[in-house]
Homo-oligomer: A and B are copies of this chain.
Amino acid sequence: MLNYFSSNFSLGILGGGQLGKMMLYETRKYDIKTRVLDPNPEAPCKIACDHFTTGDLMDYDTVVNFGRKVDVLTFEIEGVNVAALKQLEQEGIKTWPSADTLEKIQNKGIQKNFYKEHQIPTADFQVFKTKNDLLEALKTEKINLPFVWKSTTGGYDGKGVSVIKSQKDLQELSDGECLVEDLIPFKNELAVIVARSVSGEVKTYPVVEMEFHPTANQVEYVICPARIEDKVAKKARELAVKVSQAFEHVGLLAVEMFQTEEDEILVNEVAPRPHNSGHYSIEASYTNQFEQQIRAILDLPLGNTESKVGGIMVNLVGDAEHEGEVIYKNIEQIMKMPGVTPHIYGKKITRPFRKMGHVTIVNEDLAEARRIAEEVKNSIKVISKE
C-alpha cells in the first residue's frame, strides 16, 4: 500500500466547489496532500488544499498538465475533459472514477442506454439530436405529452431538466441533444450512495428520501433513513449496488431512484461523486460520504455506512428576492435548536436559488428531527445586505 499520511503523496481534485471543500476536511484529517483545479480563483476550495490552480476543467491541456502533478486524480463535478483523463490514465496516473465510467455517465443519453443494455430498470426514454427532431416525433405521435425533458449534457442542480405538459412549455426548451422520458407517477423519490473501492469492496449507505414541498415541485428535506418499508429499502440498496458494479465504478456513486405506486424501483440518474443526498452523513453517519470517497479511491478499507442517529438535510438556497453580498438571517436562531449544524459554503454573493449552504438536523428520534427541520426551514433566510 502507498503511504498517504503525512507523506509526499498527492491527490488531485478537479473542481473546487462545496463538494471539494467538504472533501478537504477529510484530507486534512488524514494529512493527505491535495491539489485543486477550478476556474474560479475564489472557489470554496481555494484555501485548505496544498496547491490551488485556476484553470478551465474542460480544457484538455489544462487538465493534463494539472493531472501530471498528482498521484491519484478525482473530480467533484462531472463537467471535466474526459479525453484528458484518458491521456493521464495512459501515462499511469490513477483516475477514480475512471475516464471510461465518467464518459458513460456524463452524457445522459449514453447513461440511459447503458441502463437499458444492463437490464437496470429505468423510465422509458428516447434521445433526440435536436429540438426539431423532438418536435417531429411529437407531431408523428412517437412521443406524447406530458414528458420529462433533459439536456443530455451540462445539467446541474435542476438546470437542464423540465417537465413538459403543454405546447407552451415546449417553446421554452433550448436546442441541442436531449432526452425525453416518461413522466413516472412516483410515491417517493429515493437515493442510495454506493461506495466501491479500487479493489472492489462495496458498501451502501441507508436509503434516503426526498420530501417535496406539498405544492411547489421542490425537494425540501433529505431524510435518512427513508420512511419506507424494509423490503423496499433492501430492493433499492441492491439495485444501487447493481448499478455501481455495472459501471465498474470506483468511488462514490449516488443513485437517484423512483419508488413507483407499485413499489417498483426505477433508476432516475446517477452522480459519480459525493452528493447532496449524502450531506446528512457528516453529522449522522459513522463514516461520512467525503471520508468514504477518500477511502474508496485510495483503496483503503471502507468505513461503516450506518447511522449513529436520524439525519435530515435542508438546503440553504438564495432567497428569490435577493442578489448581492450574502447575509444568513436568523442563523443564530437555528443554532439554538438541538442537533442543528449549519454548513456555509463560502460564496460571497447570493442569487435567487443559488446553493449557498445546507443545514443538518440530527436526533435519535427521526420524527423530532423532522419537526426541528421544519422550524429551521421557517427561520433561516439567505438574503443580501440592504
Contact code string A335-351 (vs B, CB < 8 Å = 1, else 0): 11011011111111000
Q: Indicate which residue in B21, B31, B304, B364 contacts A28 across the interface (CB closer than 8 Å).
A: B21
A1 lies within 8 A of chain B by Cβ = yes
Query: Contacts of A348 on B, CB cut-off 8 Å?
Result: 6
Q: Which residue of B lies closest to A51 (CB)?
A: B47
Tell whether A339 pairs with B301 under 8 Å between CB atoms, given A49-B47, A327-B3, A348-B6.
Answer: no
A25 lies within 8 A of chain B by Cβ = yes
Q: Indicate which residue in B28, B301, B308 contacts A335 across the interface (CB closer than 8 Å).
A: B301
Q: Indicate which residue in B48, B291, B362 contacts A286 across the interface (CB closer than 8 Å).
A: B362
Query: Contacts of A50 on B, CB cut-off 8 Å?
Result: 47
Q: Which residue of B lies closest to A301 (CB)?
A: B336
State A25–B331 Cα separation when bound (angstroms). 19
Contact code string A1-44 (vs B, CB < 8 Å = 1, else 0): 10101100000000000000100110011110000000000000
A298 to chain B, nearest CB (A): 10
State A295–B309 Cα separation when bound (angstroms). 23
Q: Which residue of B lies closest to A299 (CB)?
A: B332
State A265–B11 Cα separation when bound (angstroms). 49
A353 lies within 8 A of chain B by Cβ = no
In the complex the two chains form, is A6's CB within 8 Å of B335's CB? no
In the complex the two chains form, is B6's CB within 8 Å of A326's CB? yes
In the complex the two chains form, is B295's CB within 8 Å of A338's CB? no
Query: Contacts of A339 on B, CB cut-off 8 Å?
Result: 286, 304
Query: Contacts of A326 on B, CB cut-off 8 Å?
Result: 5-6
A280 to chain B, nearest CB (A): 13
Query: Contacts of A308 on B, CB cut-off 8 Å?
Result: 308-309, 362, 364
Contact code string A284-320 (vs B, CB < 8 Å = 1, else 0): 0011000100010000110110001100000000000
CB-CB contacts below 8 Å: A107-122 with B: none
A328 lies within 8 A of chain B by Cβ = yes
In the complex the two chains form, is A31's CB within 8 Å of B346's CB? yes
CB-CB contacts below 8 Å: A330-386 with B: 331-332, 335-336, 338-339, 341-348, 362, 364
Q: What would 19 A/B residue contacts be, using CB atoms closer than 8 Å?
A: A1-B332, A3-B327, A5-B342, A6-B347, A24-B48, A25-B28, A28-B48, A29-B344, A31-B345, A31-B346, A47-B47, A48-B48, A291-B341, A300-B332, A303-B335, A304-B338, A304-B339, A308-B308, A308-B362
